[in-house]
Amino acid sequence: MLRRVGGGDEQALRVLFERHAPWLRVRLARRCGDADAVADVLQDTFVAVWRGAGRFRGEGEVAAWLWGIAVRRLVSRLRRADAAARPSARTDGGVLASAEEQVLLGVEYGDAGGALRRLSPELRAVVQATVLDGLSTREAARLLGMPASTVKFRLRKATAQLREDLLALPTEGMS
């Protein structure tokens, strides 16, 4: 499907949108209470898919790739809103950003974000689905198209890698 989108097939993009937009909207809405921001991020996500479908390497699931695009778009939007509202961490509507939104920004751009980017696509997709999105093992397995036991194994492996990566970071203020 993504190859067809990458080739300029608007019908393929429409099918992709109809298949994935509903669950993307729900997941984005869990991260951001601003319905207009969610709608904008969803639209931006599919514009990015239209422009960049050729960059999908076929590693991992399409749904995980789409979520990665969507969450980066959301984080960028929240980051812009946060920068505009500093020091009070307010959203576009002037409402204080939730703790979850602030943590999401830290995960994307802080040390944990770097550690997540260093995981393989398969491990990163499991962490995103279970930890960042709060899906159960069964829900993540269904989304990623794999057995629940594989989700559990990959999550344990990813946790070990993240722990090792984050513990290797220099600690500020210590000599």
Tokens read off for 98: 């939730």
Domain boundary among 86, 116, 142: 86
Domain boundary among 29, 63, 86: 86
Q: Are residues 77 and 100 in the same domain?
A: no
Q: Are residues 79 and 101 in the same domain?
A: no
**In this model, does residue 11 exceed pLDDT 70?**
yes
Q: Are residues 77 and 116 in the same domain?
A: no
Q: Are residues 114 and 162 in the same domain?
A: yes
- What CATH number has the domain bearing residue 44? 1.10.1740.10
Q: Are residues 103 and 169 in the same domain?
A: yes
Strand-pairing partners, residue 90, are 96
Q: Are residues 8 and 80 in the same domain?
A: yes
Domain boundary among 86, 105, 124: 86
pLDDT tens sequence across 105-156: 555 556 677 778 788 888 888 887 887 776 778 878 877 778 999 999 999 9
**pTM over 0.85, yes/no:** no
Q: Are residues 77 and 137 in the same domain?
A: no
Question: In the chain, how many domains are there?
Answer: 2
Structural domain for 78, as ranges: 1-86
- What CATH number has the domain bearing residue 155? 1.10.10.10
pLDDT tens sequence across 156-175: 999 898 888 878 766 554 44
Q: Are residues 77 and 3 in the same domain?
A: yes
pLDDT tens sequence across 45-90: 988 888 887 777 666 678 877 888 888 788 778 767 655 554 444 4
How far is Cα of residue 71 from the mean position of the Cα atoms in its chain? 4
Q: Cα–Cα distance between 155 and 173 in angstroms, integer?
A: 32
Q: Are residues 40 and 70 in the same domain?
A: yes
Q: Are residues 45 and 99 in the same domain?
A: no
